[in-house]
Chains A and B, each alone.
Chain A
Amino acid sequence: MEDTELHTVSFKLNGHVQVLQVAPRRSLTHVLDQECGMKSARVGCGQGDCGSCTVSVDGVPIRGCLLFAVQADGADIRTAEALADPAMLAAIRKAFKKHRAIQCGYCTPGFMILAEYILRNALPLDQAVQTLSANLCRCTGYSPIVSAVTELLALRAENGCGP
């Protein structure tokens, strides 16, 4: 069987509507990367283990490698290039940079998506650490990432709302 059956899919990507023709077996990550030019859409394992592919779908972080792009029809998708709240995005970038939470940067978009979820939901620190454990990083040793998120949570608490 070939990919003869194409589906029309339309979703909102970082606030802009995209309409695409996709074969059912293409993963969301593949389509975001190859068709939509989202360089933050990355595969590290294709098995749900590593979280390199984590994107926000309808406001929650999911594994892009385990979602077929056809399934995203009608969804509101956000990638690390443009999180919903620009101020929060700027704050996350700043904190990641300050705490040396980036080395090779391959894992970074996935962690940014998790960080945004943690901040938006103001998770307590222990839950934040648990949530961050969803994703793998092989370079930083994590504690810089945890420090960055800890600081962001503290800032958020101080400001009473989003940083």
Chain B
Amino acid sequence: MYPAPFLYHRPSGLHQALELLSRHKTDGVILAGGQSLVPRMNLRQETPKNVVDLNRIADLSTLAVVDDVLEIGAMVRHQSLCWDAEVSGLSLPSGFAQLLGRMAGAIGNLPIRLRGTIGGSLANASPKAQWALLSLLLDADIVIENAGGARCERYAEFLNRDGRTTLKPGDMITRVKIKVPSAHWRYGFAQLAPQQNRPTSAFALAAVTLQDACVRDCRIAVGACTPVPCRLQALEDWLSGRPASVDGGNDLADVAKAAVRQQAFDLEPYLEHLAAVAITRAVAQALGH
């Protein structure tokens, strides 16, 4: 349980970091919070020869709203988004700010959240990552830079269906940009685990706006039980226009299950069931049941 030897680099600026990554394209790796990378290195599942530590690059830890877009630096720690002190200055709509806090708070445990970063989580692209679910649902833009320049990718394009990202050697996620949703949006987030505080077995995120007590806009995504998080178009269509009092009961669960099935991941019945439960809960929450 000891990592293989490596050379350690601690750039103090972004430019220097990108240079290093470009120089060590074949055998270099980014060290962000280390909460996924280091466990793997400890098991020697990963044996990079060069490790580029981003923890001293102050520019990557900024959290700001620019032109109605929430920009989260790649090195922003999960726990920062749980802390009022850090989030309240951004004057985000309260429901949205709360959602960020709740999803961040659902990650692992405190020491993990205090180190782990959003950039690391997105790059790591675990199917059980809360940030992946959020990024998908809110069409986050991932800003990726390398020594050659920068690009910006919609999350849905950034993550392939096979669970791999478009990141290439030398690439670094520098920021995540999320258009701040209007204050009308209401959210529901449900996470299921066999026991509390354990890796989740299914989670779902729902966002709705209401008009005349009916659902107007609606976005629903499910994950953890699927290889990648996915939007459930069929369910969104079904829910749109329905009264907000729509019964969170059997109908919804059935439609949810069918929508999940449509994704053709060929889930075992238990996981399908869990997906439906998570979705039903998230939707009910968003609708204020």
Contacts and interface: CB of A to CB of B under 8 A. Distances in A.
Direct A–B contact in the complex, CB atoms closer than 8 angstroms: yes
Interface string A45-84: 0111001001000001111011110110000000000000
A134 B111 contact: yes
Contact of B34 (A25, A61, A66): A66
A133 B42 contact: no
B8 A130 contact: no
A131 interface: yes
Given A47-B39, A65-B42, A133-B109, A24 B115 contact: no
Given A66-B38, A66-B39, A67-B34, A25 B6 contact: yes
A5 interface: yes
A117 B114 CA distance: 12
Contacts, number: 86
Interface string B1-41: 11111111010000000000000000000010011001101
A47 B42 contact: yes
Interface residues of A, number: 31
Contact of A2 (B5, B41, B42, B110): B5
A40 B244 CA distance: 55
Contact of A131 (B4, B55, B110): B110
B115 A66 contact: yes
A7 interface: yes
Interface in B52-68: 53, 55
Contact of A62 (B2, B3, B108, B111): B111
User: Which residue among A2, A3, A43, A48 has the maximum number of chain B CB atoms within 10 Å of its CB?
Assistant: A48
Contacts of A43: 1
Contacts of B10: 70
Given A46-B39, A66-B38, A61 B114 contact: yes
B88 interface: no
A51 B111 CA distance: 9
B3 A25 contact: yes
A1 interface: yes
A134 B53 CA distance: 25
B184 interface: no
Interface of B: 1-8, 10, 31, 34-35, 38-39, 41-43, 49, 51, 53, 55, 108-112, 114-115, 196-197
30 contacts: A1-B7, A1-B49, A2-B5, A5-B8, A24-B7, A25-B4, A27-B42, A43-B1, A46-B39, A46-B42, A47-B43, A48-B39, A48-B108, A60-B111, A60-B114, A62-B115, A63-B35, A65-B38, A66-B38, A67-B34, A67-B38, A67-B115, A68-B38, A114-B110, A117-B110, A130-B109, A131-B109, A133-B196, A133-B197, A134-B109
Which 7 A-B residue pairings sit nearest by Cβ, starting from the closest? Answer: A134-B109, A24-B8, A66-B38, A46-B1, A47-B39, A46-B42, A25-B3
